[in-house]
Structure 1
Amino acid sequence: MLFVGDDRAEDHHDVEVQDGTGRRLTKGRLPEGLAGITRLHELVGAHLAEDADPAEVVVGIETDRGPWVSALVAAGYQVIAVNPVQAARYRERYSTSGAKSDAGDAHALADMVRTDRHQLRPVAGDSDLAEAVKVTARAHQTLVWDRTRQVQRLRAALVESFPAAVAVFDDLDAADTLELLEKAPTPDLARRLTVAQISAALKRARRRGDLAGRARAIRAGFQAGQLPVRPATAAAYGAVVRAQVGLIGTLTTEIGRLGAQVDAHFGQHPDAEVLLSQPGLGPVLAARVLAEFGDDPDRYADAKARKNYAGTSPVTRASGKKTVVMARYARNDRLADALHQQAFSALNASPGARAYYDAIRARGTGHHAALRQLGNRLVGILHGCLKTHTHYQEATAWPQNVASDAAA
Structure 2
Amino acid sequence: MLLIGDDWAEDHHDVEVQDGTGRKLAVATLPEGVEGIAKLHALIAKYGGADVDSAEVVVGIETDRGPWVQALIASGYQVFAINPRQVNRFKERYGTSGAKSDKGDAHALADMVRIDRDQLRPVAGDSEQAQAVKVVARAHQTLIWERTRTFQRLRNTLREYFPAALDAYADLALTSTDALELLIKAPTPATAAKLTRPQITAVLTRHRRHNRPQKAATIQTALREEHLGLPEPVTAAYAAAATAHARLLISLNEQIAELERQVKAHFLEHPDAEIYLSMPGIAEITGARVLAEFGDDPTRYDNAKARKNYAGTSPITRASGKSHTVQARYVRNNRLASALQLQAFSALNTSPGARRYYDKQRARDAGYNPALRQVGNRLVGILHGCLKTRTHYDEATAWSHHAQLYPS
Q: TM-score range by the shorter chain?
A: over 0.9
Q: Any unmatched runs of 5+ in structure 2?
A: none
- Which whole-Å CA distance do the structure 1 matches of 2:405 and 2:302 have between them? 32
In the TM superposition, 1:3-402 aligns within 5 A as 3-170=3-170, 171-208=173-210, 210-399=211-400
Q: Aligned with 1:123: secondary structure?
A: coil
- CA deviations on 1:57-76 (whole Å, 9 max, x unpaired) are 11110111111111111111
Q: Aligned with 1:182: secondary structure?
A: helix
- CA deviations on 1:311-366 (whole Å, 9 max, x unpaired) are 11111111110111111011011111111111111111212112211221222222
- CA deviations on 1:225-276 (whole Å, 9 max, x unpaired) are 2112221111111111111110000011111111222122111110011111
- How far has the Cα of 1:110 moved from its partner? 0.5
Q: Aligned with 2:4: secondary structure?
A: strand
The answer as to whether partners of 1:140 and 1:258 remain within 8 angstroms in 2 is yes
- How far has the Cα of 1:401 moved from its partner? 7.0
The AA in structure 2 aligned to 1:22 is G
- Which whole-Å CA distance do the structure 1 matches of 2:255 and 2:347 have between them? 28
- Which whole-Å CA distance do the structure 2 matches of 1:256 and 1:177 have between them? 17
295-304 or 255-264, which deviates more: 255-264
The answer as to whether partners of 1:37 and 1:68 remain within 8 angstroms in 2 is yes
Q: Aligned with 2:26: secondary structure?
A: strand
Percent of aligned positions that are identical = 62
Q: Aligned with 1:287: secondary structure?
A: helix
Cα gap change, 1:402/1:307 in structure 2, threshold over 3 Å: closer, same or farther? Answer: closer
- Which whole-Å CA distance do the structure 1 matches of 2:320 and 2:404 have between them? 40
Q: Aligned with 2:48: secondary structure?
A: coil
RMSD value, Cα:
1.5
Q: Aligned with 1:47: secondary structure?
A: helix
**TM-score between both structures, scaled by the size of structure 1:** 0.96
The AA in structure 2 aligned to 1:148 is T
Q: Aligned pairs, how many?
A: 406
The AA in structure 2 aligned to 1:78 is Q
The answer as to whether partners of 1:316 and 1:325 remain within 8 angstroms in 2 is yes
Q: Aligned with 1:147: secondary structure?
A: helix
The answer as to whether partners of 2:187 and 2:243 remain within 8 angstroms in 1 is yes
Q: Any unmatched runs of 5+ in structure 1?
A: none
- How far has the Cα of 1:160 moved from its partner? 1.0
- CA deviations on 1:40-93 (whole Å, 9 max, x unpaired) are 011111121444421111111011111111111111111011110000111121
The answer as to whether partners of 1:15 and 1:30 remain within 8 angstroms in 2 is yes
Q: Aligned with 2:261: secondary structure?
A: helix
- How far has the Cα of 1:402 moved from its partner? 6.1
The answer as to whether partners of 2:3 and 2:114 remain within 8 angstroms in 1 is yes
Q: Aligned with 2:97: secondary structure?
A: coil
- How far has the Cα of 1:211 moved from its partner? 1.9
Cα gap change, 1:206/1:402 in structure 2, threshold over 3 Å: closer, same or farther? Answer: farther
The answer as to whether partners of 2:177 and 2:253 remain within 8 angstroms in 1 is no
- Which whole-Å CA distance do the structure 2 matches of 1:11 and 1:175 have between them? 40
Q: Aligned with 2:30: secondary structure?
A: strand
- CA deviations on 1:2-59 (whole Å, 9 max, x unpaired) are 1111111111111111111110111111100011111101111112144442111111
The AA in structure 1 aligned to 2:159 is V
Cα gap change, 1:363/1:403 in structure 2, threshold over 3 Å: closer, same or farther? Answer: closer
Q: Aligned with 1:249: secondary structure?
A: helix
Q: Aligned with 2:365: secondary structure?
A: coil
- How far has the Cα of 1:403 moved from its partner? 5.9
- How far has the Cα of 1:175 moved from its partner? 2.2
- Which whole-Å CA distance do the structure 1 matches of 2:148 and 2:229 have between them? 28
The AA in structure 2 aligned to 1:308 is N
The AA in structure 1 aligned to 2:187 is P
- Which whole-Å CA distance do the structure 1 matches of 2:12 and 2:96 have between them? 27
- Which whole-Å CA distance do the structure 1 matches of 2:168 and 2:316 have between them? 45
The AA in structure 1 aligned to 2:75 is A
- CA deviations on 1:122-155 (whole Å, 9 max, x unpaired) are 1110011111111111111100100011111111
Q: Aligned with 1:45: secondary structure?
A: helix
